[in-house]
Structure 1
Amino acid sequence: MRTLIVAALFAIASPLTLAAANCPAHPKAEWLKPDDAKKQIEAQGYKIRTFKTSGNCYEIYGHDKAGKKAEVYFDAKTLAIVKQEIGD
């Protein structure tokens, strides 16, 4: 019974936790270079702990200018915020 309950919870939670940002697809040649993107994101006040490419997005883990934990997905061409989760 316990296994069934745990499986049901994962089935409900998985789509929510795995929902990725839906960044527009731009040709890679139009993307900002990662180093330039990092500099511009930091200029917006973010402290980047981890920077990576996620699908068509640049994704950071770190802190926002208020010092709160932040997971933010940016359009790789324009750096427009596509999705963000701000915590404590």
Structure 2
Amino acid sequence: MRKIIIALSLAAGFSGTAFAAEKCNVAMADWQPREALQAKLEGEGWKVRSIKTEDGCYEAYAINGEGKKVEAYFNPQTFQSIDMKIED
């Protein structure tokens, strides 16, 4: 019984790691340039501090159009918002 529990725990741990690494699953050949994302965000009134690659996505640190500090993830092919954290 103990071996089964350990095996299931390990399987769950590894599957969680694989999922986290694949937040955006887009082939590099299909990525748009990060400058295009910056231009899009600035056109929406954002003040972009930096854009980097994280978990296969673009991760932007910026002040959004409402004046709030955000950490936002975008699909690198479509620039669709994947996740956003608003800082206080």
Aligned-partner Cα distance in 2 for 1:39–1:60: 12
1:1-88 matches, cutoff 5 A? 23-88=23-88
Identical aligned pairs, as a percentage?
A: 33
Q: Compute the RMSD of aligned alpha carbons.
A: 1.8
**Structure 2: tracts of 5 or more residues without a match:** 1-19
> How many equivalent pairs are there?
69
Aligned-partner Cα distance in 2 for 1:21–1:81: 17
Note closer, same or farther for the CA distance 1:45–1:21 as it changes in structure 2 (3 Å cut).
farther
Query: Which amino acid is the alignment partner of residue 43 of structure 1?
Result: G
1:21–1:57 CA contact under 8 A, matched in 2: no
Offset at 1:23?
Answer: 3.0
Note closer, same or farther for the CA distance 1:22–1:67 as it changes in structure 2 (3 Å cut).
farther
The two structures have a TM-score, normalised by structure 2, of: 0.68
